A = this chain, B = another copy of it.
Amino acid sequence: MTKRRITIAIDCMGGDFAPHELVKGAISGGREHQVDVLLVGAPEAIQKELAQLDVQGVKFEIIPASQTIDMAESPGSAIRKKKDASVVVASQCVAKGQAQGLVAVGNTGAAMAAALFNMGRIEGIDRPAIAVVLPTTAKNPAILIDAGANADCIPEMLIQFAKMGGIFVESVLRVKNPRVGLLNIGEEYSKGNTFSLSTYKLLESHEGLQFVGNIEGKHLFDGSADVIVCDGFTGNVALKTAEGVGKMVMKIFKDEAGQSLRAKAGALLVKSAMKKVKRKVSDEEFGGALLLGVKGICVIGHGGSNAYAVQNAIRVAKEAIEQDVIAKIESKVAQACVVP
């Protein structure tokens, strides 16, 4: 029996470097990960990019979309007004079965809204959530869920986040029996705000979760837990703070290396170390976040994604499809826990 060929729809018009990096990443991702790609966006612009690329061995199709949604637009109204926006059309490709997964970069809210509106929620899932892969100093990366889909949460929602996140970690990151932690401001069970105290109790008493307690921000990156759950506001603040610190540290290193021309070998070494750090901590390598809980694989990348990031996003989408993450969520999460 031959394995069914996977097709992934790429919104080629989103993010800071569209369409160039998107088309480039789609083609290299298609080749590298042996998937077919639908290039969604302005046909002429996409054609122009393709003309500069070696497309041999990659099966692709251009799917026209006449509109784009930029970073600053309000997701809800943009989705309603721009029926022919690339991200909308790309998510419809998944809804109609032309593709099994969507890769979008740029306006996260718009990608989420388009996916939710067109693909729909998995029955029994109350709120889809964004899982972001975090680099760690341990053997495996960890995931943070929810990284921004739901600014306001009730504690019960985090049970579903924990379960969906666990399935992602087991299936795609290949971590067995993932340990679930709650992002909080102290390690002891008695620490936190009203929300985290209630959530702790729920997580602790919920069967089928390997709950390891509270995880402080300083332990997000050391492998203390595999799945770290939180409301989307807190998760987004943590994620963007991490980005800010990373940028600041890189800038200081860069300044230092620049000043040290006296030791050229040293400067080179700093640059090489910086590259390594950047690679380790950037989302390029991880290929973006997965929107879990919608009826279709949806990988959302950073607005600044380059071709390499897009290529990795395609890898994540492919693995999630192959591992049947949606069916697993349907059978293991949606029926097991319903938010009251």
Closest to A196 in B: B233
The 8 Å CB contact of A217, one of B190, B238, B249, is B238
Contact with B along A256-280 (1 / 0, CB 8 A): 1100100101111110110011001
The 8 Å CB contact of A237, one of B183, B248, B251, B253, is B183
Considering the chains assembled together, what is the distance between the CA atoms of A241 and B242 in angstroms? 6
Main secondary structure of the interface of A (DSSP, over half): helix
The 8 Å CB contact of A273, one of B151, B196, B252, is B252
The 8 Å CB contact of A244, one of B220, B237, B265, is B220
Considering the chains assembled together, what is the distance between the CA atoms of A268 and B266 in angstroms? 7
- In A203-244, the 8 Å CB interface with B consists of 216-222, 231-234, 236-244
Considering the chains assembled together, what is the distance between the CA atoms of A269 and B265 in angstroms? 9
CB distance from A104 to the nearest CB of B (A): 18
Q: Report the contact-size class of chain A (Cβ under 8 Å from the partner).
A: 35 or more
Chain B residues near A220: list those with CB within 8 A: 241, 244
Chain B residues near A232: list those with CB within 8 A: 185, 193
Contact with B along A155-198 (1 / 0, CB 8 A): 00000000000000000000000000001110010111110100
Interface residues of A (CB under 8 A from B): 72, 74, 135-137, 148, 151-152, 183-185, 188, 190-194, 196, 216-222, 231-234, 236-249, 251-253, 256-257, 260, 263, 265-270, 272-273, 276-277, 280-281
